[in-house]
């Protein structure tokens, strides 16, 4: 008898059928109770996977693989397995988890998706980051992204990956994925283009890291307070001068571009928008998770003759 982990995939509205980080919440909650018995994650209600859902799923499976030997996925139809295959999902998990999908036939049909800027990638150290950045920068350049857009995407990815490599030390390291869309995915669907960046690690989390700095005792009473504080310029676990600037700056880039940065760790989640920051109590996430939305602005807005 297998324990089945259910997801909470919205059936209505803009996020209907989308596997987001939030849709994995019930599975993460249930996963903490798993004690070695076979487990299956049911993805049959999923129609669409975004990078955040993909990285979250990777973190969930790593968490489960650490607790039991028999982990499997039940996948719907063709589109979701095909997307997972294109995102290198089965290359990373294929030999560790079971699935109802015919992975071999997917491999034969494999074709490149131009929106995929970074397939699901697993990394452990800071040393691997420059290579990741070189590759995505080349893809962005070939696809006609302007310098400013490439800088925003690459510096977001490099700073958040560096944080994951430094603070997220865990058996599986960290996962990242980047996808471009020809419509706005976050919030209500509307016209425009959007790049989504997601990074998840299985480390000790933001509150624990900041608590190492006795100076922040008062700011780390709850996960949400710690997350809000971590997004301030110059706040870091080590307290060394010059540290703790990367996250604050990339959150600023995302917010100014009309997008957002969402930071989730422990039982907290803080999302930074241009004019506000939202905090929310959420089910426990075993590590740190970052999702960044960068809408693409039309090229003509970038010209120097732009009226104020």
Partner 1 sequence: MISLTTVRMELAPEERAQATFEVAGGDFGGKLMVTRRTGRAVRAALEEALTDLPKGGTLYVDTRGVELMDYSFADEALGILASRVASGEYGERHLVLVEEDRDLLENVEASLMQRSLAMIRVDEVGAEPGIVGKVPEHLADTLQAIYDAGSITNTALAAKLGLNNTACNNRATRLAKLGLIHRKTETAAPGGRQYAYERIA
Positions in the binding site for partner 1 (CB under 8 A): 126-127, 129-130, 133-134, 137, 147-148, 150-151, 154-155, 158-159, 162, 233-234, 241-243, 245-246, 249-250
CA dihedral (141, 143, 147, 152) positive or negative: negative
Q: Which is nearer to partner 1, 105 or 238 (CB)?
A: 238
What's the rounded Cα separation, in Å, for the pair 144 and 151?
13
Based on DSSP, count helices (H) and strands (E) in the chain, helices before strands.
10, 11
Query: What backbone torsions phi and psi does residue 49 show, to the nearest 5 degrees?
Result: -115, 125
Residue 200 has which token pair?
């998840």
CA-to-CA dists, residue 243 to 138, 233, 240, angstroms: 29, 9, 6
- The one-character DSSP state at 18 is E
Q: Which is nearer to partner 1, 59 or 164 (CB)?
A: 164
Q: Which is nearer to partner 1, 41 or 178 (CB)?
A: 178
Name the minimum Å distance from CB 166 to partner 1: 8
- The one-character DSSP state at 192 is S
Backbone dihedral region of 88: left (phi > 0), alpha (psi from -120 to 50 degrees) or beta? left
Q: Which is nearer to partner 1, 118 or 186 (CB)?
A: 118
Name the minimum Å distance from CB 134 to partner 1: 6
Name the minimum Å distance from CB 75 to partner 1: 35
What's the rounded Cα separation, in Å, for the pair 90 and 79?
14
Name the minimum Å distance from CB 54 to partner 1: 23
Cβ proximity of 267 and 282 under 8 Å: yes
Name the minimum Å distance from CB 308 to partner 1: 18
Q: Which is nearer to partner 1, 160 or 196 (CB)?
A: 160
Q: Which is nearer to partner 1, 28 or 123 (CB)?
A: 123
Of 23, 8, 61, 58, give the one whose Cα is nearest residue 39: 61
Name the minimum Å distance from CB 220 to partner 1: 21
């Amino acid at each position: 008898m297998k324990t089945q982990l259910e997801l909470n995939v919205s059936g209505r509205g803009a996020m209907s059928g989308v596997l987001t980080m939030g849709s994995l919440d019930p599975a993460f909650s249930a996963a903490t109770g798993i004690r070695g018995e076979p487990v299956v994650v049911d993805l049959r209600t999923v129609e669409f996977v975004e990078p955040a859902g993909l990285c979250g799923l990777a973190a969930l499976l790593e968490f489960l693989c650490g607790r039991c030997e028999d982990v499997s996925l039940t996948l719907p139809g063709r589109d979701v397995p095909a997307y997972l295959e294109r995102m290198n999902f089965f290359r990373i998990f294929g030999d560790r988890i079971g699935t109802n999908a015919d992975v071999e036939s997917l491999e034969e049909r494999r074709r490149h998706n131009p929106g995929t800027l970074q397939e699901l990638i697993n990394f452990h150290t800071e040393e691997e980051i420059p290579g990741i950045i070189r590759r995505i920068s080349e893809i962005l350049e070939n696809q006609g992204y302007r310098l400013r857009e490439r800088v925003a995407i690459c510096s977001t990815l490099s700073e958040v990956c560096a944080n994951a490599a430094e603070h997220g030390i865990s058996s599986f390291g960290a996962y990242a994925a980047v996808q471009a869309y020809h419509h706005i995915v976050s919030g209500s669907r509307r016209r425009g283009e959007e790049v989504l960046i997601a990074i998840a690690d299985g480390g000790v989390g933001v509150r624990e890291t900041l608590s190492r700095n006795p100076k922040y005792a008062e700011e780390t009473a709850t996960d949400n307070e710690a997350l809000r504080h971590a997004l301030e310029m110059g706040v870091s676990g080590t307290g060394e001068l010059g540290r703790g600037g990367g996250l604050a700056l990339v959150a600023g880039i995302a917010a100014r571009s009309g997008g957002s940065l969402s930071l989730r760790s422990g039982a907290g989640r803080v999302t930074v928008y241009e004019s506000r920051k939202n905090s929310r109590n959420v089910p426990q996430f075993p590590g740190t998770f970052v999702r960044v939305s960068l809408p693409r602005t039309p090229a003509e807005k970038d010209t120097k003759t732009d009226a104020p």
